[in-house]
Amino acid sequence: MKQAILVFLGGGFGSVLRYAISKPLNPLFPNFFFGTFLVNIIGCLLIGLILGLSAKSNLLSQNSTLFLATGFCGGFTTFSAFAFEKHFLLKNSELLHFSIYLISSIVIGIFAVVLGLWLSKFGE
For 3-60, the pLDDT digits (tens) are 999 999 999 999 999 999 999 999 998 788 899 999 999 999 999 999 888 888 778 8
DSSP code string of the chain: -HHHHHHHHHHHHHHHHHHHHHHHHGGGSTTT-HHHHHHHHHHHHHHHHHHHHHHHSSSS-HHHHIIIIIIIIHHHS-HHHHHHHHHHHHHTT-HHHHHHHHHHHHHHHHHHHHHHHHHHTTT-
Q: Does pLDDT of 111 surpass 90?
A: yes
User: Which pLDDT does position 55 carry in this prediction?
Assistant: 84
Q: Does pLDDT of 82 surpass 90?
A: no
Where are the domains positioned within the chain?
2-23+38-120
The reply to whether 77 sits in an annotated binding site is yes
The reply to whether 75 sits in an annotated binding site is no
Portion of the chain with pLDDT greater than 70, in percent = 98
* Number of CB atoms found within 10 A of residue 111's CB: 14
- Mean pLDDT (the chain) is 91
Q: What is the mean pLDDT of residues 92-106?
A: 95
